[in-house]
Amino acid sequence: MKTGVVGYGVAAQYMHLPFIVTNPKFQLQTILQRKGEEAKEKYPLVKIVRNLDEMLSDDSLELVVITTPNDSHFDYAWRALEAGKHVVLEKPFTITSDDAIKLITQAEKKNRVLSVYQNRRYVSDFLTIRQLLKENLLGEIVEFEAHYDRYRPEQRPNAWREENTPGSGILYDLGAHLIDQAFCLFGLPQFVTADIRIQRPHARTTDYFELWLDYDFTKIILKSGMLVREPGPRYAIHGRLGSFIKYGEDPQEALLRKGFLPTAADWGQEADSIYGELHTEINGKIVHEKYPSLAGNYGGFYNDLYNTIVKKESLKIKPEHGFNTIRLIELATESSQKKCRIPCSDLMKVPYP
């Protein structure tokens, strides 16, 4: 599948290109890098273009992967769909739910596949938790708490995610991952209650959030902050039978940033030192032990996408999923401003894998 990648920042270099160039089902044909020669130096056999029109003028190009800042997503995706290309958008999809609806309608009109790159469905901890819940090892879940914390007391220079612009801040950035995971594991909530803040003195946009998603009996807590020097568990799950506590980070991003390609047989496998702790009751016996983690692989996204476009299999990450994430962010923002819980009745009721 002849593929073009729009942008050559962190997302392109570490989250997309390594999985495109190592997958024989794809051919990296074009990279859009507006300035600089880094892409040409890294990929000398790939055509480098300076604007989207030049990329879209290639009739042989089938797939366009958009990794640019959030405020360009709608325009670039619309133009790519108009040109008859399949499109992948970096999360969180669009800035507004209205724009998400417009892109969904455009993709349907053009009969093109439109998806959103939710790579955190393909990480070790999420895959492991999904299996654990499927096996019902904790019983009915009463509380699920997920964190995506960092310690970054100073603003990163030239970081658009930290500017006061539409689509910036960690709710759009890290929150999009946590929200999508919660929807995959538990479906759509009835209400959201949110506390969204700016905690660092220099910060220009959201750098902390806490979301409570109400599923009637089950309570979901999603949290992220930029002033967490000593992180606690990434996941704490409690059910009628037991608990699962998980520390540590899926290893893929750290390896990719060091220049490793996802070709090793043990790619995405966590060290057993950070396996989650399972404390529960199975067949009347108390079990308190490490629960082995499944291996993650962001590349699963591209295999699933190929199977949808070429083999006509059902799309795993639907554009409606992107809409739901953005709409939840909007509802959470309203909740924080009004200091009340907000119903989630207008989320799209589409299946999650």
What mean pLDDT do residues 313-329 have?
A: 98
Q: Residue 21: pLDDT band by 50, 70, 90 thresholds?
A: very high
Distance from C-alpha of 227 to C-alpha of 178, rounded to nearest angstrom: 18
Which one, of 229, 245, 252, lies nearest residue 280 by Cα?
Answer: 245
Task: Report the share of the chain in percent with pLDDT over 90.
Answer: 94
Q: Residue 74 has what pLDDT?
A: 97
Residue 201, SS3 per DSSP: coil
The answer, yes or no, to whether residue 245 has pLDDT greater than 80, is yes
Q: Residue 283 has what pLDDT?
A: 92
Q: Residue 163: pLDDT band by 50, 70, 90 thresholds?
A: confident
Q: Residue 266 has what pLDDT?
A: 95
Distance from C-alpha of 283 to C-alpha of 285, rounded to nearest angstrom: 6
Longest pairwise C-alpha distance within the chain: 65
170 and 207 in contact (C-beta within 8 Å)? Answer: yes
Which segment of 65-69, 105-109, 201-205, 347-351 scores lowest on mean pLDDT? 201-205
Tokens in use for 177? 């991952």
Distance of CA 146 to the CA centre of its chain: 14
> 305 in the Ramachandran plot: left (φ > 0), alpha (ψ -120 to 50) or beta?
alpha
Distance from C-alpha of 46 to C-alpha of 118, rounded to nearest angstrom: 26
Distance from C-alpha of 27 to C-alpha of 195, rounded to nearest angstrom: 44
Q: Residue 351: pLDDT band by 50, 70, 90 thresholds?
A: very high
The answer, yes or no, to whether residue 307 has pLDDT greater than 90, is yes
Query: What's the CATH number for 122-296+327-343?
Result: 3.30.360.10
Tokens in use for 93? 């999809």
Tokens in use for 152? 């970054």
Distance from C-alpha of 196 to C-alpha of 57, rounded to nearest angstrom: 43
Give the domain ranges of the chain. 2-117, 122-296+327-343
The answer, yes or no, to whether residue 155 has pLDDT greater than 90, is no
238 and 138 in contact (C-beta within 8 Å)? Answer: yes
What mean pLDDT do residues 289-301 have?
A: 98
Q: Residue 280 has what pLDDT?
A: 98
- Domain 2-117: which topology? Rossmann fold (3.40.50)
* Residue 92, preceding peptide bond in cis (omega within 30° of 0): yes
What mean pLDDT do residues 114-126 have?
A: 98
